[in-house]
A and B are shown apart, each in its own frame.
Chain A
Amino acid sequence: MLELNNLHVAIGGNEILKGIDLKINAGEVHAIMGPNGSGKSTLASVLAGREEYEVTSGEVLFQGENLLELDAETRAREGLFLAFQYPVEIPGVGNTYFLRTALNAVREHRGQAPLDAMDFLQLVKEKADVVKLDPSLLKRAVNEGFSGGEKKRNEIFHMAVLEPKLAILDETDSGLDIDALRIVSEGVNSLRDSERSFIVITHYQRLLDHIIPDFVHVLKDGRIVESGGRELALELEARGYDWLDSKAAVETAR
């Protein structure tokens, strides 16, 4: 599904990702954890096609194709989805109208006919139900004045409608209350299948009790310093990130 080989990324001459290797197969869920500022969102943004970041070396293959050649909209149409850490408020653009424009762009790319208004509303109703999205949020402008939790729920709602092949969730759990965390996780789980992969970026083991990952990676100072199964998340919860420094140092010394 996704393959990163020695990915280096800089912004304003500052190297932020310093050689990332990662392979994600169809159907897998990979969690990425790591301290603030380690480059998690940078990785997510680069994958989604944000242009400010400069890929200085390395490659990214998405479904066997060179992802870095595609612009953001084409990546989305090819099935890549980013749930933003900070969803953007867009006053004046209705949530439903926006989503319909997006869905029809994706459908067109897949060679499907646009959904008419009736079918679309039916779909929206169904998907809004999955994440228990307050229907009044559908009538408002995209994210405008949404609470922190509502924004995150709205992201997962968009994901449910667009049905991507690879979804990157950047701290979707932050700002969610306990019930919302469960509901959003159930929403994500309901989309899990053998064809769809997820990258779940989080600071909290708690989320991974709901969305059970196949792999956990630790990103620190632009590098993946540790990878393991879900038990790694528990260890991080107990020990923090400091022990990885000495471990990495030992490995480099070898």
Chain B
Amino acid sequence: MRSTHLFQPDLAGSIHASPILASLGSEARERFNELGFPSRRDEDWRLTALTPVTGHPFSRAPEATTATEHWTLPDAVTITFVNDRLVGGAAENDLPAGITITALSSAAQSQTQLIEEHLGRLASFDDQPFVALNTAQSLEGALIHLAPGAILDRPINIIYATTGDDVVTYPRTLIVAEENAKATVVETFVGDGRSLICPVTEIAVGPSATLQHTRLIELSAEGSCIGSVSATVERNAAYRLSSAGLGGSLARTDIRVGLNGKGADATLDGLTLVGGKGQGITHVVVEHRVPNCTSTQRYRSVLDDRSKAVFTGCIIVAEDAQKTDARQSSRSLLRSSDAVAHNNPQLEIYADDVRCTHGSTVGQLDEEALFYLRARGIDRLTAEGLLTLAFAAEVLEGIPVEAVKSRLEDQLMAQLGPEITR
């Protein structure tokens, strides 16, 4: 066994009551045993220092004994999990016909077909150790199902809180939007101590459906999160992801999107804010599998102190995926000379009639602009905060829910500068 690691996931015995989850779990368990934790020899993990995770004796989070404090999106349909246990929201919600929000543990009994069809099929654990780990361990999470044509005006807020020190949680979300369905889902992952969150989110966007997805990761300075998002997008459907990661010792997200039907679109935005010795790492793979699809990746990272940010964005265009339009931009703002940013665009293009653009920059705060702001009476910290917000603006503007956007702006300002009177 990997005795060099202090983090030894407890994989013994089945913890799933339902036969579907149990057999999936044991498959994943076997795979994880073969894969083990990634090492720096794996190209995909070369720039990720995993010690905050593997070098710490995490164990499954016990049921929380005290209520946790966390932000809840106003006017949303909410479902809340604390330490991998449902604490509220699923049944109470008054939803329009065709929309269900269920805890996975009960969905395994009541919505077996959906689970069998999708769970573990979208997020591959074959080559992703942390997905294997999540699949082997996951007890709980949310299943959101939108029947054909179902439209929800209010956003859905799934909250996964992890509380306590030295604990690990494995949140799992499955979202299935059938033809012409439309919804907005905000996932929030909150960790309050020296904890590790290993979430997996699987998404199927059916023909002509629209799914707006926001992921907020809020960690304490010692918290870590290693998560993945896997989505498939069918004909004329749209998948819009905005992710924001604030703080943490290690926050890594792997995003894989497959454009499966003509006219499918994926718009992927991300904002990472790292400080201290933190690492903010994002790997994106967008696969254009058929002709006439569009994709956009826009990633921004803001680095303080001695932190590190990595963005690796891969665009794969299959041989017959002609008329692909794929764009990618990644920009990093170094607010300290000790911080390091890596932006790695990767293109694998097998078709000839395509339009792929990519650009990446690493820069500092503009001294001229800083002086201009200060010469009008704005103090340096606030001026730096304003310029940083401006840097993040493009990604913030793309966030579909106003309350999420303003909360993020406030959090950014709170971390970056003193309060600004609005």
Contact = CB atoms under 8 A, between A and B. Distances in A.
Contacts of B379: 73, 105
B13 interface: no
B372 A102 contact: no
B372 A84 contact: yes
B376 A162 contact: yes
A71 to B, nearest CB: 7
Nearest to B390: A92
Given A90-B387, A93-B390, A76 B368 contact: no
A77 B382 CA distance: 15
B372 A105 contact: no
B387 A73 contact: no
Contact of B373 (A71, A92, A98): A98
B421 A158 contact: no
Most chain B beta-carbon neighbours within 10 Å: one of A98, A100, A109: A98
A27 interface: no
Contacts of B376: 76, 81, 98-99, 102, 158, 162
Most chain B beta-carbon neighbours within 10 Å: one of A73, A106, A141: A73
Interface string B308-347: 0000000000000000000000000000000000000000
Interface in B363-396: 366, 368-369, 371-380, 382-383, 386-387, 389-391, 393-394
Contacts of B377: 73, 76-77, 102-103, 105-106, 109, 162
B15 interface: no
Contacts of A142: 372
Contacts of B393: 91-92
B403 interface: no
Given A88-B368, A88-B369, A101-B386, A76 B375 contact: yes
Interface in A76-123: 76-77, 81-82, 84, 87-93, 98-106, 109, 114
A90 B371 contact: no
Contacts of B414: none
Contact of A104 (B373, B375, B389, B421): B421
B331 to A, nearest CB: 12
B377 to A, nearest CB: 4
A88 B378 CA distance: 15
B371 A91 contact: no
A109 B378 CA distance: 11
Contacts of A26: none
A50 B390 contact: no
A120 B374 CA distance: 20
Contacts of B373: 90, 93, 98, 102
A48 interface: yes
Interface in A163-191: none
Contacts of B380: 71, 73
Contacts of B421: 100-101, 104, 114
Nearest to A80: B375
Contacts of A55: none
B420 interface: yes
Nearest to A49: B375
A90 B368 CA distance: 9
B390 A90 contact: yes
A82 to B, nearest CB: 5
Interface string A40-78: 000000001110000000000000000000011101110
Contacts of B394: 92
Contact of A72 (B374, B386, B420): B374
A109 B383 CA distance: 17
B372 A101 contact: no
A87 B375 contact: no
Contacts of A102: 373, 376-378
Contact of B375 (A82, A100, A109): A82
A87 B374 contact: no
Most chain A beta-carbon neighbours within 10 Å: one of B376, B380, B389, B420: B376
A58 B376 CA distance: 25
Nearest to B382: A101
Interface string B406-422: 00000000000000110
Interface string B276-303: 0000000000000000000000000000
Contact of B420 (A48, A91, A101): A101
A72 B390 contact: no
Contacts of A84: 372, 375
Contacts of A99: 376
17 contacts: A72-B374, A73-B375, A76-B375, A82-B375, A88-B372, A90-B390, A91-B393, A92-B389, A93-B373, A100-B421, A101-B382, A102-B373, A103-B377, A105-B377, A105-B382, A114-B421, A141-B390
Given A98-B386, A105-B377, A162-B377, 4 more contacts: A48-B375, A71-B374, A93-B390, A141-B390
Q: What are the 9 closest A-B residue pairs judged by CB atoms, nearest first?
A: A92-B390, A76-B377, A92-B393, A102-B376, A88-B372, A72-B374, A105-B377, A73-B374, A106-B377
Interface of B: 366, 368-369, 371-380, 382-383, 386-387, 389-391, 393-394, 420-421
